[in-house]
Amino acid sequence: MAKREQLTLRGGMMNKEKVKGAIDEVAGSAKRQFGNMTGNTGTQVRGAVQQVKGKAEMAVGKLKDAAHVAKENAAALNKR
């Protein structure tokens, strides 16, 4: 079974997908804003794409967390 990598921040759990997604979302936003300021459409588009990628990674991370919690709950119910 694969080891589950997690990081706990402010009382919540974050797996590597959620962390990577958050980083991509922030970096994409900065890139898009820089493109807006400089009038560089290519940078704006690349930033927007990176933001979407980050949001998708966050969604995958949330799904993995939900699956992990469901698995733990099922195991706890089976022990009763």
Q: What is the pLDDT of residues 34-61, one digit of tens each?
A: 999 999 999 999 999 999 999 999 999 9
pTM reported for the whole predicted model: 0.74
* Sign of the CA dihedral running 59, 12, 21, 34: positive
**How far apart (Å, rounded) are the C-alpha atoms in residues 54 and 50?**
6
Of all residues in the chain, the percent with pLDDT exceeding 90 is 64
Reduced to 3 states (helix: H, G, I; strand: E, B; else coil), residue 3 is: coil
pLDDT band at 76; cut points 50, 70, 90: confident
